[in-house]
């Protein structure tokens, strides 16, 4: 197994995120690695495809602020420093790949619900992260 010096943990801030954090923290401790956390918020325009002629900027700002607060609580609980916390707006797999490459991460840790069949074909974040990552990816079974 590789010695990882930088690890990126991707979380959705659900209850399952604690399971992902436990695994990422253990690997970080065993490798004396720097652990970063990313939480990605999908723009509301992605969800609605831009078909609704509304200005979502106020709502999007509120969602972003709430995510920052939730990530702060989560990261504090798990002992991750402020400068290693990242809340990003965009497509999860794209933003996770981008940050992992920018920080030269050796490992991405992400939760996976183990979907199959039609749910897998529709896509999952873990599957999207796995396909296209330039470093190792650990999908932690959750849910």
Give me 62's structure tokens: 């509120």
Read off the pLDDT of residues 11-28 as tens digits, 9 standing for 90 and up. 999 998 999 999 999 999
Instruction: Indicate the pLDDT class of residue 121, thresholds 50, 70 and 90.
Output: very low
The domain total for the chain is 1
Q: What is the CATH number of the domain that holds 24?
A: 3.40.50.620
Q: Is residue 77 part of a domain?
A: yes
Mean of the pLDDT values across residues 131-135?
Answer: 91
24 inside domain: yes
Distance from C-alpha of 21 to C-alpha of 98, rounded to nearest angstrom: 20
By the 8 A CB rule, do 87 and 39 touch?
yes
pLDDT of residue 115: 52
**Tens-place pLDDT, residues 67-108:** 999 999 999 999 999 999 999 999 999 999 999 999 999 999
The verdict on residue 1 lying in a domain is no
Q: Report the pLDDT value the prediction gives residue 21, as an integer from 0 to 100.
A: 96
Token pair, residue 40, equals 């990605």
| Sequence-distant (≥ 6) Cβ neighbours of residue 135 within 8 angstroms | 100, 105, 106, 107, 108
Q: Which domain holds residue 20?
A: 6-141
Q: Is the pTM of this model over 0.75?
A: yes
Say whether pLDDT at 109 is over 80.
yes
- Tell me how far apart the alpha carbons of residues 29 and 142 are, in angstroms, rounded to a whole number: 21
């Amino acid at each position: 197994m590789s010695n990882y010096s930088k690890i990126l943990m991707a979380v959705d801030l659900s209850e399952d995120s604690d399971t992902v954090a436990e695994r990422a923290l253990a690997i970080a401790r065993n490798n004396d690695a720097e652990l970063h956390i990313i939480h990605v918020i999908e723009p509301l325009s992605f969800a609605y495809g831009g078909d609704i002629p509304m200005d979502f900027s106020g709502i999007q700002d509120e969602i972003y602020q709430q995510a920052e607060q939730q990530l702060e609580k989560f990261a504090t609980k798990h002992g991750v420093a402020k400068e290693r916390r990242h809340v990003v707006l965009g497509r999860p797999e794209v933003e996770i790949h981008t940050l992992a490459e920018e920080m030269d991460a050796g490992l991405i840790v992400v939760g996976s619900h183990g979907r199959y069949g039609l749910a897998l074909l529709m896509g999952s974040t873990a599957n999207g992260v796995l396909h296209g990552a330039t470093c190792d990816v650990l999908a932690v079974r959750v849910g």
